[in-house]
Structures are given as structure tokens and as C-alpha cells.
A and B are shown apart, each in its own frame.
Chain A
Amino acid sequence: MGQLGGAREAVKRTLGRLLTLGAVAFAASAHVGSPDTYFEGAAGDYPIRVIIRSPGVVPGLAQITVRVLAPRLVRRVLALPVYWDPRTAAPPPPDVAERVPGDSTLYSAALWLMRGGSYSVQVTIEGDRGTGVALVPVQAVATRRLDLPTPLAALLAGLGVLLLAGAVTVVGAAVRESVLDPGAIPDRRRTWYARAAMAASVVLFALLLVGARAWWRAVDAAYRTGLYRPPHASAAVRSVSDAATLRFAIDDSLWTNPNRRWSPLIPDHGHLMHLFLIRDSSLDAFAHLHPLPRDSTTFETHLPPLPAGRYRVYADIVHESGFAQTLTAGVDLGPPGGAWHASDPDDAFIADESGKRDGGRAKGTTFALADGSTMTWDSGDQAIVVDREAPLHFQVQTRGGEPAVLEPYMRMAGHLMLTRFDGAVFVHLHPAGTISLASQETFLLRQPGDTTRGALGTRLTQYERAATTHAGMVSLDGSVSFPYAFPQPGRYRLWVQVKRAGRILTGVFDAEVVTAAGARTVP
């Protein structure tokens, strides 16, 4: 308890009364094909929604927008990205976010993320309710290589040819005429010298061009090597006396190389790893498991009785730096074995081979949950559009049609996993958005003197153990919402998990996401 008191004291010291994190629900992150960060929570007395658009390149400019969700008199909104490593953080003064014209509650700013890795963005609201701060973890990683658009390439090539021809002509003119008296005509000798000089300059410029091309290619190759990719992992099933065990191994040399200093893993709401199994192509079987570490590279869990087939495997982990990653693998499952003894009480799965489900765009899609209650997706009657706030509002009702009371499931009122049918997108959401609770807490608990690996993780565990149930972790009226915008168009499947009367319940929905242009053609 002494240590715990110390940890609490540290929290108070670091951020004082500004932070009211306890009132917010948070969750794990990193994700596949969804680089932007969505956060909904409280900065003191100001409920806010924050969206941070990743630049996809480091160093780069991330765009942050902050929306104040309640009628408050706001004087100033500040944003400041702080790097995870206290030895190198030393941030400049925060930026004042500008109010977006035509919208009195929306503020925006640019965040300069200069190094790759984990940041927390301190969002400060100053107004009639005093000053409130929220921490939004964000990861700066290079995720994409920008192609040179054809028109720009054509323009540059044209200008390049003009410059080269011009340079050769200047050389010729310099040799032929530059030292002649005005009016004098160059003789044959000078003309020939000029031609020779131009020929020589062509060779020289060609060599320079070859060098420039090699230089560009080297920069491009170095950039490609630096692109973020999660460590490679593989999954396998082992059957021992009728019980099947799933083994998930991080078998990447990037991971095992002792010179590569990953910071240690920390538990995200009580689990070092959140692992999801999704049956390939049909997406009709889903499991949310929490494997236990066997060693620093291998995790194991008892496999629920899922139908046989090829499965996609997604594993969420969080580092002490606050860096969250989603590792991916694939595994073939045989016919289900005997009884399932869950390795962890938070493990759950759902398998439905009927393959029939209504499209998510139908208003009021309802899914019958395992305990007889229902989950309804209030998706509205508008099309779901890429990069626009998606109406992810769900309502759970008892068998009698009354609003159901939702208990905290891993310290959250609800979890939402979604994937595009082709697997290009996989996201694990919570009412607080895409962010990782553990990331956020590490930034909250971080101290300037943190230099020992693992110390922060220990403090975090103590902090989580001491944490009590807060209002944000439950839902008394059976409703749960998730702030998010779909990153790409296409067909998606959504699994919404809640806990009721000690039982984990999973609702399954489909969504069709269209581009803004596509939305206009929908009647």
C-alpha cells in the first residue's frame, strides 16, 4: 500500500487536479488499416471529442480537431504533443487551437510529430468551468509511401528537361560568345569549341542526373525500411487430451533481437494481450481471448469450440512507452474438441453459421443476444460515409423490452470490434474511442525520473488494481456508443460486446460504408 500511495502521489504531483481520468472509459488501440485516432472523454468539466488525423509520415503534421460536446463557455483550447521518453521530451509551449469558422464548438490545430514513437497529446480547455486537461495517446509512425502523382511527375519531368537543355545552352553560349565584343560574330573555332563544351556538359549533366537518381532511390529505400510494420507473428493449435490450446508466437527478429530495445509490455485493462479470432471470408465465427505469456515471445490460451476453418488472428499489445500494436497472423482450426475451460473469465466467443444477417443500414437492426435480451443498432437513416462520424449507438434491452443495465466488461461499458470483409481494416473500439487505456495511463503515471525499464508497468498495475468502478464503465440505461469514422469504403462486420448479469454477450451487425460521392447517389 505504501508503494501504491507513492504512485497515487506521483499522479497528483504530475498533473494535479487538472485530470479527471477516472470518469472516463478508455481502451486498447493500434489497429489495422485505421491510422486516425478518435477519442471521447472529459477534460475536467468539459466533455470533448478529439480526432487526430495521422500524417502517415514522420516527421509530419498531424491535424487535431477538438469538439466541446456540452454547452460551455470556452476561452481557449490548447494542444501539446509530449514524447513518451521523459529524457528527450522537453516540449515547447502548447499551441492554441483555432476555432473552426462556422462551428462554435469545434477547434483545430496542427501537431508537429517530429520523432517516430508514442506521444500523448495534452488537450487543455480553458473556460467558465476552470481548466481541464485530457491526455490522448497517439502514435507517430510512417505508414504509407506517397506515390508521385502522374501530373506532378509530368510537370517535373518537363521542367527538368527544360532546365537541362537550358544549362547545356548556357554552357554553349558562354564558350561561343560571352567574351566577344558586342556585335562581333563568333568564328568557326569558337563555334566548334562551344559544341565540344556542350557535348561535354551533356555527359557531365547525365552523370549528375544518374547520381541524383541514385540519391533519390537511396532516400526512398531508407524510407521504406523505416515504414512501420508490426512484428511478424504466427499462431498454431496444439491439442492435449481433448483440450485445444492456441499458441501465438512473436517470431520476428525485430522482436527477439536484443539490440532492438522494445520497452516491456504492460497490461491493458488487466491483460497483456487481447487476441481476436475471426473466421476468414464468412466472418461467421468470432472470439475475444486473453492469452497468457509463456515467455517473452509466446502466448497461450485455451481455444473455444469454434467451427473448423481458416481464421484471421489479431493480437493487441501495449508497450511501456505507450506504443500500442496489433499483430496479425492466420491459423487453421480443426473440428472443435471437447469442453472449453476458458483460460480467462473475460474470454468470449460467438459462432453463427446461419450466415443470415440484415444490412446495417436498415434502421433499427436488432440482434438477439445469447441470454434472450436484444441489442439494437440505432444507425439512423443516413448512409455511413468514409471519414465522417459513424452512428455507432447501440441499445440493449431485456427480454421484457426494458433498458438493460450493463456491467463493466474489462472496465468498459462496451467493446466494439469491426473488420472489413477483406481484412484490410480491423479496429478495436471502446466508448472512449480508438485509444489505448494503458497508453493513456502510462502517460498519466509517467515521472520525469523514469529510467528503469518495467518500473512504469509495475506502477500501472498497482494503479489499475486500486481503481474502482466509475460511472463511465457501466451503462444504466443499456446504451453504449463508440466515436469513430470508417477509414475506407466497403462492407464491414461489427461485433459489440457487453456484460450483463455476469455474462459476456456479443451482438453482430453488418455495415455498408460508402464514399462521400457514393452517399450522394443513395436516395
Chain B
Amino acid sequence: MGWRHADQEGVTLHRYAWITLVAATSTVVGVIWDISWHRSIGRDTFWTPAHLAIYLGGALAGGSCGWLVLRTTFAGTSEERTAGVRFWGFHGPLGAWLCIWGALAMLTSAPLDNWWHNAYGLDVKVLSPPHTLLALGMWAIQLGALLLAAAQQNGATDGGTLRASGVMVAYLAGILLQNAAILGIEQVGFPNGAHNALYYQFAGGVFPLVLVAAGRAARLRWPATAAAAAYMAISLVMGWTLQLFPATPKLAPVFNPLTHMVPAPFPLLLVAPAVAIDVLLRRFGPRRDWVLSALSGVAFLAVFFAVQWLFTEFLLSPYARNFFFGVDRWDYSSRLGPWRYEFWRVQADPVTPRALGLALLLAVASARFGMWWGNWAARVRR
């Protein structure tokens, strides 16, 4: 067996990095699918394909990493064991432990969620304690997959492995960006929100964290850009695919009789600020993190603001109402009206210099945390 030979250990880890990457993808695909399911069909059971994709991700990550840990602990050489971290007498890579933890969290959420539905009603609110536990489990799996890829990258001795694992790190950072976008669907999900202060405050607070971390952690020429591109690619492929599936709303009230699944709104153009971050990171090198964080925050917000402000105006125009951009697709329970093509809450939450100042502070803080996180992830070896 491969892991019995130290020189093949890399190959084996490589396999687990790939399996957990597939698992992480499965969870995020499941979540996007599930959101679309609830917006298009409404009713669900335990057995919807979206749910199955989520569980598959958990089972794949938990099962494979559990197996890895057991084999390393009981059948591995002493080098293999000391190549991981200790955990209650067991040995395995840190990423594997996160994946196992995530799978256990997902498993725990299942009976709790089932009871929750029976006790308090069917998904009265999406953000419930059992759903939060499920989300934590999925994030742990995605982060675990990222750490497995990072450990592999950081210990790579040949160019091919380095490059492949760098791409994997960036891709998994893209999945984390996707998570952040899903979490903020109310704040940054719809182009109609792009003339609100909250839109930029949320984006500033969340995205620089992942972009800067990816910029530091993934050994690529354009790491943050690659992560942003991965996020956009996942969004677009899911959006285009979902639109092809027929769907009939099954819950009252049906004000908008759909025929096909509702895609998620067009993704944020995070590639643009990501390019700016990559340029900054490359130019300033590793030693001036505070200055770099401040600059990254400023650059992110400036580019993001300029791009999104204008691009969302296009998205609300008739030119964007087509398959490619997938906009103007609304939930079955929406009463369609002129609000579809308007910027919302412009009076209530206007973009003022003061509001942008807060967004800037958040972006700088977010970038600084991202820097810490990325620096660590760039050094993870186990």
C-alpha cells in the first residue's frame, strides 16, 4: 500500500486532497442547488438531489479522512504518523481532522434539524441553530480540504505538484468566497442592492479576508484572481445549469408560475478587485503586512465599488435579461412588479462618504485578518 513508503506518501495525500476537494465541491453545489430548489419548487424532502449532494460531500470527506487517520495510526510507519498532527492518540493531517469534525457536525445537525422541523415548523427561518451547525460542518470540510491542499503545496518538491496543489488551494478559496456570497445573499446577492451602503460594508467586511488569504496561501502567479475566478465559475456554471431544469412550484402562494429552476443572481465581479490585490501582494513582498493590509482594503473597496456600481446598472437593464446573465429570475412566491428593475432601499440606506468610510475600515480589518490567515496557511506542513 502506498502510504507504507515514505516516498509515496505524497501520492496518497494527493489522493485525499482530491477526494476532499470533490467533497467540498459537492457541498457547495448542493447548497446552491438547494437555495434554487426552495426558490423554484418550495417543497422538499430529505431526498432531494440538492440535499443528497450536501450529504455526499459530508460522507465523502468524513469517510475518506476517517480512513486516512485510521490507516496512518494503526498501519502507518512512524514517519507517516509524525507527518500528521496528534489528536487523542490518533495521527493525521490537520485538514483531515477538520473534515472529520465537519462531517460529525453535519451528522449531528441531522437529527436536531429533524426534531426542529417537527417542533417549530418546517424551515420557518433558514437561519436556525441546526442549519447553522450544518453550515459550520460544511465550512469545516471546505477549510479542511483547503488545508490538505495547502500542506501538500507547502511540502511539494516538484513543480507539477506545487502547481496543481496551488490551483487546488485557490479553487477551495473560491468555494469559501462562494460561501461568503451565499451567506450574504440578502446583502450582496441581488444587483438591486448595489446602491446601498450595506452592500459595500458586507463585501468589504468579508471578501478581502478570503482574497488576501488566498493571495498569500496559494503559490500561483495570480492566486487571489484565481480564487475569484473559481468563485465566479462555480456560480456561472450552476446558474446556467439550473436554468435548464424544469420546475413547478409546489407551495402556496404561487404568484410567479415558473417553468424552470431559478438560478442564483449573476456573481459579483470579484476578479477585478482580486487582480488589484494580487498586484499589491506581489509588489510589496512579505514583510510589510500592516501597510499591505491597508492598501489591499482600500484597493478592494475602490475597485469593487467602481465595478459593481456600474455593472449592476447593466444587470438591471433589458440587455441582461437573457440566459447568459440569468437575471430577472424570481421566486415563485414573488409578486412581480417594477421593483425588479430598481435599486432597492436607496433612500433608506444610501451610499454616503460616512458609510463608505465604515466599509473601508471593515475592508482593511478584513484584509489584515486575511493576511494572518494566509501567512499561516502558507506555512502549514501537516
- Residues on A lying within 8 angstroms of B by beta carbon are 57-61, 81-83, 88-93, 112, 114, 142, 145-146, 148, 152, 155-156, 159-160, 162-163, 166-167, 169-170, 173-174, 176-184, 212, 215-216, 219-220, 223
Nearest residue (CB) in A for B111 is A152
Query: A177: which of B86, B132, B248 is its contact (CB, 8 Å)?
Result: B86
Total contacting residues, chain B, CB less than 8 A? 47
What is the minimal beta-carbon distance from B352 to any residue of chain A, in angstroms? Answer: 32
What is the minimal beta-carbon distance from A207 to any residue of chain B, in angstroms? Answer: 15
Considering residues B42, B248, B253, which has the most beta carbons from chain A within 10 angstroms of its beta carbon?
A: B253
Q: How far is the CA of A490 from the CA of B104 in the complex (A)?
A: 45
Nearest residue (CB) in B for A87 is B253
Check A92 against B249 for contact (C-beta < 8 Å): yes
Nearest residue (CB) in A for B154 is A179
Q: How far is the CA of A148 from the CA of B111 in the complex (A)?
A: 11
Within 8 A of A (CB), among B204-231: none
Q: How far is the CA of A181 from the CA of B111 in the complex (A)?
A: 40
Query: A178: which of B85, B104, B118, B254 is its contact (CB, 8 Å)?
Result: B85
B82 within 8 A of A: yes
Considering residues B251, B252, B379, which has the most beta carbons from chain A within 10 angstroms of its beta carbon?
A: B252
Contacts of A59 in B (CB 8 A): 121-124
B290 within 8 A of A: no
Check A156 against B112 for contact (C-beta < 8 Å): yes
Check A90 against B254 for contact (C-beta < 8 Å): yes
What are 22 A-to-B residue pairs whose CB atoms are below 8 Å? A57-B118, A58-B121, A61-B122, A82-B252, A92-B252, A112-B43, A112-B250, A145-B119, A146-B118, A159-B104, A166-B97, A169-B88, A170-B101, A176-B85, A178-B94, A178-B147, A178-B381, A179-B380, A179-B381, A180-B382, A183-B79, A219-B128
Nearest residue (CB) in A for B375 is A179
Check B252 against A180 for contact (C-beta < 8 Å): no
Q: How far is the CA of A112 from the CA of B380 in the complex (A)?
A: 50
Known contacts A170-B98, A178-B94; decide if A219 and B120 are in contact (CB<8 Å).
yes
Contacts of B254 in A (CB 8 A): 90-92
B105 within 8 A of A: yes
* A to B contact number (C-beta, < 8 Å): 127
What is the minimal beta-carbon distance from A177 to any residue of chain B, in angstroms? Answer: 4
Check B129 against A146 for contact (C-beta < 8 Å): no
Q: A61-B122, A90-B254 are in contact. List 5 more A-B contacts (CB 8 A).
A: A57-B118, A60-B121, A146-B119, A169-B88, A173-B86
Contacts of B97 in A (CB 8 A): 166, 169-170, 173
Query: B101: which of A90, A142, A148, A166 is its contact (CB, 8 Å)?
Result: A166
Check B94 against A174 for contact (C-beta < 8 Å): yes
Contacts of B151 in A (CB 8 A): 178
Known contacts A112-B43, A180-B382, A182-B155; decide if A92 and B255 are in contact (CB<8 Å).
no
Query: A57: which of B83, B121, B251 is its contact (CB, 8 Å)?
Result: B121
Contacts of A152 in B (CB 8 A): 111, 115
Check B380 against A178 for contact (C-beta < 8 Å): yes
Nearest residue (CB) in B for A81 is B252
Check A163 against B155 for contact (C-beta < 8 Å): no
Considering residues B85, B88, B379, which has the most beta carbons from chain A within 10 angstroms of its beta carbon?
A: B85
B295 within 8 A of A: no
Query: A92: which of B107, B128, B250 is its contact (CB, 8 Å)?
Result: B250
Query: B83: which of A148, A176, A182 is its contact (CB, 8 Å)?
Result: A182
Q: How far is the CA of A145 from the CA of B101 in the complex (A)?
A: 32
Check B94 against A163 for contact (C-beta < 8 Å): no
Q: How far is the CA of A54 from the CA of B111 in the complex (A)?
A: 22
Contacts of B284 in A (CB 8 A): none
B108 within 8 A of A: yes
B341 within 8 A of A: no
What is the minimal beta-carbon distance from A145 to any residue of chain B, in angstroms? Answer: 7
B376 within 8 A of A: yes
B323 within 8 A of A: no
Check B115 against A178 for contact (C-beta < 8 Å): no
Within 8 A of A (CB), among B28-77: 42-43
Q: How far is the CA of A169 from the CA of B249 in the complex (A)?
A: 46
Contacts of A181 in B (CB 8 A): 381
Contacts of B115 in A (CB 8 A): 146, 148, 152
What is the minimal beta-carbon distance from B49 to any residue of chain A, in angstroms? Answer: 20
Check A142 against B121 for contact (C-beta < 8 Å): yes
Nearest residue (CB) in A for B250 is A92
Which 7 A-B residue pairs are closest in the complex by CB-CB distance?
A90-B253, A182-B83, A173-B85, A146-B119, A159-B108, A179-B379, A177-B85
Q: How far is the CA of A156 from the CA of B83 in the complex (A)?
A: 33
B314 within 8 A of A: no
Contacts of A89 in B (CB 8 A): 252-253
Q: How far is the CA of A60 from the CA of B118 in the complex (A)?
A: 8
Contacts of B100 in A (CB 8 A): 166
Check B82 against A93 for contact (C-beta < 8 Å): no
Interface string of B87-111 (1 = CB under 8 A from A): 1100000100110110011011001
Considering residues B86, B100, B105, B120, which has the most beta carbons from chain A within 10 angstroms of its beta carbon?
A: B120
What is the minimal beta-carbon distance from B91 to any residue of chain A, in angstroms? Answer: 10
Contacts of B250 in A (CB 8 A): 92-93, 112
What is the minimal beta-carbon distance from B129 to any residue of chain A, in angstroms? Answer: 6
Nearest residue (CB) in B for A165 is B88
